[in-house]
Chains A and B, each alone.
Chain A
Amino acid sequence: MGHEYIGAGLAIGLAALGGGLGIGRLAAAALEGGARQPSMAGDLRITAIITAGLIEGAVLFAFVVANALAGKA
């Protein structure tokens, strides 16, 4: 009874944790790179946004799984 909801909450929570850490590291690295080499900042920003989209994709997988677990998908 209700185990699905615990699982769904854990799934999306842990995925958000991982995604947040990943995007944080990505932003840190991009900012650092931009500060060291300002001429590259534009390129770095584009790459960072694309990579953030890829990381976000992984979190959204978990969102879909969590939705299926909670039985609302």
Chain B
Amino acid sequence: MRTATKLLVVCGVLVLGQGAWAAEEAEGAGAVPGEHHAEAMTPQEFISHHVADSYDWEFEYPELLKKVGLTVEAPTIHLGKLFSFLKFESPVGACAMPVEAKYSQVPPIGRLANGCFDLRPSKAHLMMAFSGLLVLLLGLSFGNRKSSALVPTGAGQNLWEAFIQFIRDEIALRNIGPKGEKYVPFLASLFIFILGMNWLGLVPGFFSATGSMVVTAGLAVCVLVVSQVAAVRSAGILGYLAHLTGGMNEMVKTGPLYLRAIGFALMLLFIPIEIVGILVKPFVLTMRLFANMFAGHMVLFSILALALISGGAWYGFSLVIGTVIYVFETFVGLLQAFIFTLLSSIYIGLAEEMGAHGHGHDEAAGHH
């Protein structure tokens, strides 16, 4: 009950803050020129607008209400303006300058080269913060039960402990082995954090942070760092480097000269492969979570856009199919959070094993 109250208070504060911003927005409505989502949106714009990250947090579904004759002004929180003090530019207006042609593939680096250091949070950052708050709240509420209280009481505490036990027994211990115990906090936080982001995106007006590739890439980098540190700690720095040569370091040390030469040649072949093998895991983690959430929302909004295109009877159709897809997305959000955690634990397990079995290569099972 205690946490339920806390969560309610947090939600209340959020809603109140939101109302305050909306009111301020309404007051200064004349000063704020309308954003690009003016009146008529093509379905493509409608969809890409909703799945793309931006500095404006909008409550945009009035777009659909407009279609049936209700005009509701969409309240918007301009995060870019709100946090404009986090934008550092050395010549004033550097952020608005066009990016040089050689940086056209990576605009952020081009803007950095222009002298624009932009730390403003976008919608995705905000959703990450909400989800992080959720992890923090849950952890603070249930994570430090007094060890003198032997029996957990209350639904929240029981659910929490069942969840932690699931993470420990089914994910950590099963995939990492006896050393898995110390990774339980990391894996549990990862799971709740991702689940929170996935499900926040399903709340109307909110945005799925995991539908943005930078967020999932950041998470994957966390997993990469944890697994590589685990590998170095289990195998030692020399063992780690020896593993990078694919075990060919043994072949180079002993034996006849021609075998050593072959070993050396193979070593040159293996080192890039091993490095790619390390880097492909976080890449796969990144792409899987991102693609699932991005595509899921895209499909959802494609169905909703049917109503925008055709109107009439399609409202009912898109509503029904949209609800079905919504429920499916709820399931996918849970599943993908679980899969991300599971694969992370497998990668950490492979890293932990590195010290245990020398330089063997039975990690094919890990490359999904």
Contact = CB atoms under 8 A, between A and B. Distances in A.
B295 A53 contact: no
A54 interface: yes
Contacts of A57: 287-288, 291-292, 339
Given A67-B298, A72-B44, A72-B48, A53 B335 contact: yes
B169 to A, nearest CB: 14
B338 A64 contact: no
Contacts of A49: 335
Contacts of B342: 50
A60 B44 CA distance: 19
Interface in B33-92: 44, 47-48
B210 to A, nearest CB: 13
Contact of B336 (A53, A61, A67): A53
Interface in B351-368: 368
Interface in A24-73: 49-50, 53-54, 56-57, 60-61, 63-64, 67, 72-73
B8 to A, nearest CB: 33
Interface residues of A, number: 13
A54 B368 contact: yes
A67 B52 CA distance: 13
A60 B288 CA distance: 8
A72 B368 CA distance: 28
A63 B297 CA distance: 12
A67 B368 CA distance: 23
A60 B291 contact: yes
Contacts of A64: 287, 290-291, 294-295
B334 to A, nearest CB: 10
Contacts of B295: 60, 63-64
Contacts of B335: 49-50, 53
Given A67-B298, A72-B44, A72-B48, A50 B339 contact: yes
A51 to B, nearest CB: 9
Contacts of A63: 291, 295, 298
A73 B298 CA distance: 10
Contact of B339 (A54, A60, A67, A72): A54
A72 B332 CA distance: 23
Nearest to B290: A64
B305 to A, nearest CB: 12
B223 to A, nearest CB: 16
Nearest to B336: A53
Taking each of B44, B288, B290, which has the highest tally of chain A beta carbons within 10 Å of its own beta carbon? B288
Nearest to B335: A53
Nearest to B288: A57
A10 B292 CA distance: 20
Taking each of A49, A60, A64, which has the highest tally of chain B beta carbons within 10 Å of its own beta carbon? A60
A13 B294 CA distance: 18
A54 B335 CA distance: 10
Taking each of B44, B290, B298, which has the highest tally of chain A beta carbons within 10 Å of its own beta carbon? B298
Contacts of A53: 332, 335-336, 339
Contacts of A56: 292
B349 to A, nearest CB: 16
30 contacts: A49-B335, A50-B335, A50-B338, A50-B339, A50-B342, A53-B332, A53-B335, A53-B336, A53-B339, A54-B339, A54-B368, A56-B292, A57-B287, A57-B288, A57-B292, A57-B339, A60-B291, A60-B292, A60-B294, A61-B291, A63-B295, A63-B298, A64-B290, A64-B294, A64-B295, A67-B298, A72-B44, A72-B47, A72-B48, A73-B48
The 3 closest A-B pairs by CB, nearest first: A60-B291, A57-B288, A63-B295
